[in-house]
Amino acid sequence: TTKNNDLFRQNMKAENEILTTKEVAEYLHLHPFTVKKFARERKIPAFKIGSDWRFHKKYIEKWIEKKLKGNYR
């Protein structure tokens, strides 16, 4: 149905969403400098486009889940 197709497209869009440093900082309640430092040190999944860091929302969420599992074992 059309409703199911729309929901599928919304889920795919959210899953493939690319975030900026500022957006990740707001999402994680961190300072943007901290997010950039984590990206440089490969402590958070990230990639560069030119000189700007970008973050795949799906991988940020998986990273959070991994961190939570590691902290509560």
Contacts of 11 (CB under 8 A, 6+ apart): none
Integer Cα distance of 2 and 58 in angstroms: 25
What is the rounded average pLDDT of the residues 44-65?
A: 96
pLDDT, tens digit (0-9, with 9 covering 90-100), for 7-33:
656 655 566 799 999 999 999 999 999
pTM greater than the 0.95 cutoff: no
pLDDT of residue 11: 57
